[in-house]
Amino acid sequence: MHLTRRLFLAAAMVVGAVLATNTALAAEPATTRRDLPAVRLSTPPVIDGDLSDPCWQHAAKSGRFVDNLYGNPVADQTEVWIGYTETHIYVAFHAYDAQPGSIVARETKRGTMPSNDDYFSVSIDPFHSHNWGGRSWFAVNPIGTQFAHLASGRGSKLEWEGAWQAASRIVADGWQGEMAIPWRILNYPISKQPVTCGLNFNRLCQRTKINSWWCNIGPQETYELEGHWVGVVTPKFRRQLSLLPYAIPVLGTGAGSSTRAGIDARYTLTPGLTAVATLLPDFSTVEGAVETIDFSYGQRYVPDRRPFFQEGSEVYNGGGVAGRYFHSGRIPGFDMGTNIYGRLTDRDTIGVLTAVKLGSRVDSVLRGRHEFGPTTTFDFALISRDGNPRTNRVLVFGENLRRGRWGVDAAWAASWGGDARRGATWNAFFYHQAPRFFFDAIPHAVSAGFCDDLGFIPFTGYRGVIADAGYVNQWRKGPIRDLVAVLTTNDSRKTGGGVFRRTRTFFSELSTRSDYGLTLTWDGGRYEEFNDAVWTVALRVRASDPYHHYGIGYSWGRQAGAYKRFVTPSAVWRWGRLTLGVESSILSHKEHAYQHIVTANYDITERRGIGGRLVASNGGTGGYLAFRDSGYGGVERYLVFGDPNANRLMKKVMLKTVWPL
C-alpha cells in the first residue's frame, strides 16, 4: 500500500513537472512563425530616417530579435514598425547599439549589398510561399545605401527595380531608418479578400558579427520558419510598360565609325508575371568576368553578366553534378530576345526565354516549377537550340524534398539532336543539415552521349558517388570568430571502364576577431592516370573591409603529372572617392602564365563616376576607361574609351545613351 502510494505520488510529481515544463515553454515567447497584423496607414511617413512621424504610432510594432545561431535574444535589440497604403509598404526600425561609435558603414554605391557593414533588411513574401524564390528583400546600411533583391531574380537595372526609398541615420543609442517599397515592384496575388504574406526582419551587427532575426530561420535559412503578415489587402493591379531605347555611336580605327541603336522593354502581364524584350541588344559597355588562368582539367566556368540574362535568373538556374543545364554564356550575340518569367499562381512559377540570331539560330529555354509546399517542389525544363549546323534538345526533371533536417534533391536529364546523339544524366542528393554539422551523399551518372549545347557540362561518360561532411561554427568571444571545415570524397569511374576520379579534398576557412581571414586546402588523389597532391594557403588582412584589404594565396604540389606553383596576391584600397584594386595570378606548371588586373573607380557623385580596368596576360593587354552618368529615373550616358572585353588596347570611343520612357 505504501509502495503503491509512493508510486502514485512519484507519477503525480512527474506529470506535474511535465505540465509545469510545458506551461513554461508555452509562456516562452515564440522565435519563429510570428504574426504581425496588417495596418493600413492613413498618412504615409516622410522617408528621412526620423521616426517622429505620427503614423508610426499606429503601425504594427514588434521586436525581440534572436541570434540566428544560438536562438537567444541578442543584447543589442531591434524594434520594427510596418504599415501600408494603396501604393506602398512602409517599414521603420530602431537598431540599438551599446557602442554606437563602432557602427560600421562604408558602402556608398546603391545596388551593392552592404554585407560587410551594419545593415537592416526586410523580406516580403506576398504569395506566402515560404521559399527563397518567392521573397523580395530590401536592405539599408547606417548611411542610407540601398540594396534590393527582387523575387525570381529580376535584373539590376535601377529603372526597372523601381523607385523604392530608404533613409537612415546614426543616433545616440544606435541607428534607425525608414523604407518605402512600392507595391508595383513586387509580385503579389490578386485577391478581393485579405491575404497573409510571408514576412521577416534581419539585422547584422558588424562589431559583434551577430546576425539576428525577428523570426529565426537559423544558419541554414529555413524559410518555412519565417513570420506572417496577416490581413493584407493587396492593391488593384495596373499594367506597366517601360521602354529603354538606346543609341551608341562608335569611332575607331580598323572597322571605322558606326552607329548602333536598339531598345529594351518591360511589361507587367500580371502582378506576378513579367515580360522583357530586347531588339538589337548592345552589351559592348558591359564589363565581362575575367577567366582565371589556374590549371583545370576541364572547361572553366565564367559567369555571364549581360543584363538581359540576369532577368529571371533564379527561375532558369538549375543543374546537378554534371554541371549547369542552362548557361546563358553559351548564347553569343543575337538580334532579338524575349523573356517571360514569374508566378502563374501562388504555387506555380514559369520562365520562357528566347534569343534569336536572324538566319542563324534560335535558342530557347522553358522552365517551370510547382510547389507542393515550402519544402517540396517539382521542376521541369526544355532547353533547345535550333540552328546551323545542328539542333539540340535537353529535357530536365527535378524534385526537392526536405523534412526537418533531412532532404533529398534529384534530377534527371536527357539530350537528343539532329546528329542522332542521345544521352542522359542523373543525380540524387541525400543530405542532413544541423546548426553546426552537415553531410551528404550524391550518387550520379553522366552518359558519354549526353550533349547540352546551351549548358555548362565539362565532362561526360562517368558515374560515381560524391560525399561531403562539414563543420560550421561561430564564437561570440575569443580570438576566432568563425570556422568552416569540409571533407569531400569523389569516387567515379568511366562508363567504358577505368578510374575517372578518386580524389579527397579538405577545405578549411577561419576568420579572427582581429579581422584576418585564413584558408587552408588540400586537394589530392587520382584523376585518370595522374596522382595529384596540391596544398593551398591564403591569408587576407582586414578581411571584412571591402575597400581596405589585401592578401595573398599560394598553391603548390603535383597536378596532371607536373609540379605546380600558383601565386595570387591582391589588394583593394580607397582614398576618399578613389578606389584602386590590383589582382595578380602567376602560374608555373606545364606552362608559365601570368595575369594582372588593375581596376580604378572615382565617384564624382552618387550617379556620376569615372572607372576603368586594365588586364595584362600572356595573350595580350586590354583595357578601357569610362565616364558614367547613370541617371536613376533619367537619361543614362556612358562614354567609353577602348573595349571593356578585348585582349588588346583598342583605339575606339563609344558613347551610349539610354532614355527611359
Cα radius of gyration (the chain): 27
pLDDT at residue 190 in the model: 87
Residue 155 has what pLDDT?
Answer: 58
Q: What whole-number distance in Å separates Cα of residue 198 and Cα of residue 137?
A: 11
Residue 263, Cβ density class (10 Å: 0-12 exposed, 13-18 middle, ≥19 buried) = middle
Cβ atoms of residues 280 and 355 within 8 Å = no
Q: Length of the chain, please?
A: 661
Distance in angstroms (rounded) separating the CA atoms of residues 186 and 53: 25
- Give the tens place of pLDDT for each residue, 149-185: 988 766 556 665 667 999 999 999 999 999 999 998 8
Contact call for residues 412 and 396 (beta carbons, < 8 A): yes
Calculate mean pLDDT across residues 369-377. Answer: 93
Q: Which residue has the cell 539610354?
A: 658
pTM: 0.88
- Taking residue 243's Cβ as centre, other Cβ atoms within 10 Å add up to 14
Nearest to 353 by CA among 342, 112, 569, 241: 342
Q: Letter for the amino acid at 262?
A: G
Judge residue 210's burial from the number of C-beta atoms within 10 Å of its C-beta, 0-12 exposed, 13-18 middle, 19 or more buried: buried
Q: What is the pLDDT of residues 191-231, one digit of tens each?
A: 889 999 999 999 999 999 999 999 999 888 889 999 999 99
The three-state secondary structure class of 107 is coil
Report which of residues 282 and 161 the model is more confident about: 282
CATH number belonging to domain 31-232: 2.60.40.1190
Q: Where are the beta strands (DSSP E) in 253-307?
A: 258-268, 273-279
Q: Give the integer Cα–Cα distance in Å for 406 and 433.
A: 7
> In whole angstroms, what is the distance from residue 102 CA to residue 98 CA?
9
- For residue range 340-362, list pLDDT tens digits in order: 999 988 899 999 999 999 989 99
Selection from 117, 122, 186 nearest residue 150 by Cα: 186
Q: What does the pLDDT average to over 412-431?
A: 89
What is the pLDDT at residue 19? 34
How far is 381 from 368, CA to CA, in rounded Å? Answer: 6
Q: Could you tell me if 260 and 248 are in contact, meaning their C-beta atoms sit under 8 angstroms apart?
A: yes
Rounded mean pLDDT, 639-648? 92
Q: For residue 510, how many C-alpha atoms fall within 13 Å in the half-sphere facing its CB?
A: 14
657 Cβ contact partners less than 8 Å away, ≥ 6 residues apart:
246, 247, 248, 635, 636, 637, 638
Does the pLDDT value for residue 634 go beyond 80?
no
* CA dist., res. 453 & res. 445, Å (int): 19
Q: What are the tens digits of pLDDT across the range 198-207?
A: 999 999 999 9
Q: What is the pLDDT of residue 284?
A: 87
- For the chain, helix, strand, coil in percent to 5 are 10, 55, 40
Give, as one character, the DSSP assignment of residue 456: B
Name the burial class of residue 74, with classes exposed (0-12), middle (13-18) and buried (19+) by CB atoms within 10 angstroms of its CB. buried
Return the DSSP state at 127: T
Residue 21 has a pLDDT of: 34
389 or 392, greater pLDDT: 392
How high is the pLDDT of residue 16?
A: 40
Kindly write down the DSSP assignment for every residue of 607-650, as one continuous string: SEEEEEEEEEETTEEEEEEEEEE--TTS-EEEEEEE-TT-SS--
Residue 8 clears pLDDT 60, i.e. is over it: no
Q: Cis peptide before 389, with omega less than 30 degrees from 0?
A: yes
Q: Where are the beta strands (DSSP E) in 184-286?
A: 195-205, 210-213, 227-232, 241-252, 258-268, 273-279
CA distance 50 to 94: 10
* 369 class by beta-carbon count within 10 Å (0-12 exposed, 13-18 middle, 19+ buried): buried
CA distances from 609 to 358, 397, 627 (A): 37, 46, 6
